[in-house]
Amino acid sequence: MDIFTEFLGHLALGFQTAVSVQNLTYCFIGVFVGTLVGVLPGIGPLAAIAMLLPATFNLPPVGALIMLAGIYYGTQYGGSTTAILVNLPGESASVVTCIDGYQMAKSGRAGPALAIAAIGSFFAGTVGTILIAVAGPPLAEMALKFGAPEYFSLMCMGLIASAVLASGSMLKAIAMIFLGLLFGIIGTDVNSGMSRFTFGMSGMADGLSFVVVAMGLFGFAEILANLEKGQDKASRELLTKKIAHLYPTWNDLKLSAGPILRGTAIGAFFGTLPGAGPTISAFSSYAMEKKMAKHPEEFGKGAIQGVAGPESANNAAAQCAFIPTLTLGIPGSGTMALMLGALTIQGIAPGPQVMTQRPDLFWGLIASMWIGNAFLVILNLPLIGLWVKLLQVPYRMLFPAILVFMGIGVYSVNNLDLDIYMTVFFGLMGYIFVKVKCEPAPLILAFVLGPLMEENLRRALLISRGDPTVFFTRPISATFLIATILLLIFMIMPNIRKKRDEAYQEPPGA
Amino acid sequence: MKIKNEEDFWAGIMFVGFGLLAIYMATDYPFGTTSRMGPGYFPTWLGIIMSLLGGALVLQGLRVDGAKLGKWAFKPMILMSLGFIIFGWSLDHLGFVIATAALVILGAASGTEFKLKEVLIMTVVLIIGSWALFIYGLELPYPLFWWR
Residues A128-176 pLDDT 10s: 888 888 888 888 888 878 888 988 998 888 888 878 777 678 889 899 9
β-pair partners for A187: A196
The predicted complex's ipTM stands at: 0.93
Distance of CA A426 to the CA centre of its chain: 20
Which residues 47-86 of chain B have a CB within 8 Å of chain A? 47, 49-50, 53-54, 56-57, 60, 67, 69-73, 76-77, 80-81, 83-85
Q: Mind giving me the DSSP string for A347-399? A: T---STHHHHH-HHHHHHHHHHHHHHHHHHHHHHHHHHHHHHHHHTS-HHHHH
The size of chain B, in residues, is: 148
Q: Is A440 helix (H, G, I), strand (E, B) or coil?
A: coil
Sign of CA dihedral A22, A26, A29, A31: negative
Interface test with chain B among A181, A211, A424, A432, by most B beta carbons within 10 Å:
A424
Distances A88 to A234, A387, A509, B73 between C-alpha atoms, Å? 10, 13, 7, 21
B145 — phi, psi (to 5°)? -135, 175
User: Are B35 and A411 a contacting pair at CB < 8 A?
Assistant: no
Please report residues of B whose CB lies closer than 8 A to that of A399. 107, 111
Digitized pLDDT (tens) for each residue of chain A, 510 residues in all: 566 777 777 778 878 777 788 888 888 888 888 888 877 766 677 777 877 777 777 788 888 888 888 888 888 888 788 778 777 666 667 778 877 888 887 777 778 888 888 888 889 988 888 888 888 888 888 887 888 898 899 888 888 887 877 767 888 989 999 999 999 999 888 888 888 988 888 888 888 888 888 888 888 888 888 888 765 444 455 555 555 566 777 888 878 888 888 888 888 888 887 776 777 788 888 888 887 878 777 777 778 888 888 888 888 888 888 888 888 878 877 788 888 878 877 777 777 887 778 888 888 888 888 888 888 888 777 777 777 777 777 778 888 888 888 888 888 888 888 999 999 999 999 999 989 888 888 888 888 888 889 989 999 998 888 888 888 888 889 988 998 888 888 777 666 666 666 666 554 433
Encoded amino acid at A92, one letter: S
> From the CA of B46, how many Å to the nearest CA of chain A?
6
Spatial CB neighbours of A198, under 8 Å, sequence gap ≥ 6: A186, A187, A204, A205
